[in-house]
Structure 1
Amino acid sequence: MENLKDKVAVVFAASGEIAGAVARSFSRHGAKVYVTARNLDAVKALAKEIKASGGSAEAAKVDALNETEIDNFLKKVVSDNGKLDVVFNGIGVGYSEMGGRPLTTVATFEQFMAPMEKICGSQFLTSRVAAKYMMQTRSEGTILLLTAALSRTKLPNLAGITAASAAVEGLTRVMAAEWGGDGIKVICICPGAIMETKRISGWIDASAKNLGIPSEQLVAQYKALDILKTSPTLKQVGETAAFLASEIGAAFNSHIVDVDCGKLNIL
């Protein structure tokens, strides 16, 4: 099924595993996909893979924290296509960028603010620039943000990224309210821990080392909270994004959409 046939989609931070999965899904559903990241080689490889599978993709180097670069790139996309239908920003932070898991009483202000600036700041920039061009071209498109379930859990020593995740969800609701009159949907995707990603496996290993327990024990503790006793996959996240960006996903707007197969510890 080509739910996004003839749509123009831009994926920021597409060198990441989640954003890459979303880009592949957009392409499978018929969209012309632009994949961007600071790592040009990575998105070139992704575009090549998409085209080899019969899709349409172009790669570009764009820093999703640089508003000028974002604006210049989206301006070119609109100039080439006359519209902008879908934007997804898959930016995230690495464990090292948070300075490990320092106690809130020990973490520096810079460590606390780093996830806020990178995660929430980037979503703010890419979303508002995309909305501007969607309004100009009357595209009535979809802006998809990404958050983490930390926003609604109670894990210690993660003040910065937890606050940033909650901020992205609040930002989603505000932007949806502002831009809905122009036919623009704003939705936030919240995947559970995707075990097949390097980010989660690295986080598990680092956390287990910090806590002094085997990584297998930490995984078992997390999986014990699965309602269906299964975990989400990258492909499921990508397919969910494609559904939300399609016309049949129009019922979702301003929502935080959990892609976690159900977790007992998340509201």
Structure 2
Amino acid sequence: MENLKDKVAVVFAASGEIAGAVVRSFSQHGAKVYVTARNLDAVKALAQDLTTNGGCAEAAKVDALNETQIDNFLKKVVADNGKLDIVFNGIAVDYSEMGGRPAATEATFEQFMAPMKKIVGSQFLTSRVAAKYMIQSKSAGTIIHLTAAASRSKIPNLSGFSAASAAVEGMTRVMAAEWGGEGIKVTCICSGAIMETRRISGWIDSAAKQYGIPVEQLVAQYKAFDILKTSPTLKHIGETAAFIASEAGVAFNSHIVDVDCGKLNVL
């Protein structure tokens, strides 16, 4: 199915695994996709793979925390296409940027604020610039944020990351209210832990070493909260994003869409 045929999509921080899955789904559903990241080689390889498989993709180096670069790039996209239909930002923060997983009593203010500055700051910048160009070009497009289940979970030693995740969700609702009159949808995908990603496998390995328990035990503890036997995958996230961005996804606006197959420990 080509739910996004003739749509123009821009994906920021596209070198990440989740963003890469979203890019592939957008392309498979017929969108022309611009893939951007600070790592130009990574997004060039992704764009080449998409075009080799019949998609339409272009790569560019854009820092999703640099408003000037974001603005210049989206201005060019609109100039070349006359519109901007979809924007997704897959930016994430590494545990190393937070100093690992320190307790709130031990984390420095800078470590606490690192996820807020990077995750919330980047989503704010890409969204506000995208909305400006969507309004100017009368695109009535879709902006999709990314957050994590930590926003509504009770996980020790993740105060900064949990606060940033919740902030993205709050910002989604406000932006949807501000720009809805222009026909712009703003929705947020809330990802559960995707076991196939390097980020989650790395976190599990790190936590196992920190607490001195087997990796298998940590995985079992997490999966004990699954409502279904099925766990979320990268493809699930990509297909969810493509649906939200499609005409059929118009019912999802201002919502936080959980992609976790159901978890007993997430509100």
Give the structure 2 partner of residue 13 of structure 1.
Answer: 13
Q: Which amino acid in structure 2 is aligned with residue 67 of structure 1?
A: E
Show structure 1 runs of 5+ residues with no match: none
Q: Which amino acid in structure 2 is aligned with residue 62 of structure 1?
A: V
Give the structure 1 partner of residue 193 of structure 2.
Answer: 193
Aligned counterparts of 2:18 and 2:50: Cα–Cα separation in 1: 15
Give the structure 1 partner of residue 22 of structure 2.
Answer: 22
Q: Number of matched residues?
A: 267
Q: Which amino acid in structure 2 is aligned with residue 88 of structure 1?
A: F
Aligned counterparts of 1:211 and 1:245: Cα–Cα separation in 2: 41
Structure 1 residue 106: deviation in Å?
0.8
Give the structure 2 partner of residue 213 of structure 1.
Answer: 213
Structure 1 residue 19: deviation in Å?
0.2
Q: Which runs of 4+ in 1 moved over 6 A?
A: none
Aligned counterparts of 2:125 and 2:159: Cα–Cα separation in 1: 23
Give the structure 1 partner of residue 56 of structure 2.
Answer: 56
Q: Does 1:203 align with 2:207?
A: no
Aligned counterparts of 2:144 and 2:124: Cα–Cα separation in 1: 11
Q: Which amino acid in structure 1 is aligned with residue 124 of structure 2?
A: F
Q: Per-residue CA shift, 1:181-213, capped at 9, x if unaligned?
A: 000000000111000000110011111111111
Matches within 5 A, 1:1-267: 1-267=1-267
Aligned counterparts of 1:53 and 1:149: Cα–Cα separation in 2: 33
TM-score (norm 2): 0.99
Structure 1 residue 95: deviation in Å?
1.4
TM-score (norm 1): 0.99
Q: Which amino acid in structure 2 is aligned with residue 189 of structure 1?
A: I
Q: Which amino acid in structure 2 is aligned with residue 115 of structure 1?
A: P
Q: Pairwise CA RMSD of aligned residues?
A: 0.5
Pick which of 208-217 and 79-88 moved more: 208-217
Q: Per-residue CA shift, 1:100-132, capped at 9, x if unaligned?
A: 111101100000000000000000000000000
Show structure 2 runs of 5+ residues with no match: none
Aligned counterparts of 2:96 and 2:211: Cα–Cα separation in 1: 16
Q: Per-residue CA shift, 1:148-203, capped at 9, x if unaligned?
A: 00000001111100000000000000000000000000000011100000011001
